[in-house]
């Protein structure tokens, strides 16, 4: 059961990473007419900042194998 939670958390982290990096490098994919717009850059950096913090917490919970934290993060 614990390995399934860890796999779900890691897939969740990869999906969040994809959206964050797509927003940073290809903003037109996430926001229509977003190429070169300062608002799009702020959006992308905000997503990246949230992603990095969440990624650290996810990996820490997976490393400690804390099932309660993994259930909350997976949800």
The per-residue pLDDT for range 11-43, each reduced to its tens digit, is 887 888 887 788 778 777 777 766 667 777 787
Instruction: Residue 15: give the domain boundaries.
Output: 2-74
Angle at 25 between CA 9 and CA 35, to 5 degrees: 130
Over residues 40-63, the pLDDT tens digits come to 778 778 878 888 887 788 778 777
Q: What is the pLDDT of residue 45?
A: 80
- Residue 27 CA to residue 54 CA, distance in Å, equals 21
Helix/strand/coil (H, E, C) string of the chain? CHHHHHHHHHHHHHHHHHHHHHHHHCHHHHCCCCCCCHHHHHHHHHHHHHHHHHHHHHHHHHHHCCHHHHHHHHC
Q: How many domains does the chain have?
A: 1
pTM listed for this prediction: 0.60
In the predicted model, what is the mean pLDDT of the chain?
77
Q: Which pLDDT belongs to residue 34?
A: 61
């Amino acid at each position: 059961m614990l390995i399934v939670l860890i796999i779900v958390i890691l897939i969740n982290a990869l999906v969040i990473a994809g959206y964050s990096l797509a927003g940073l490098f290809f903003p037109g994919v996430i926001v229509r007419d977003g190429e070169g717009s300062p608002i799009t850059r702020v959006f992308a950096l905000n997503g990246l900042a949230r992603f990095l913090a969440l990624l650290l917490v996810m990996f820490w919970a997976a490393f400690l194998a804390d099932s309660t934290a993994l259930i909350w993060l997976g949800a």
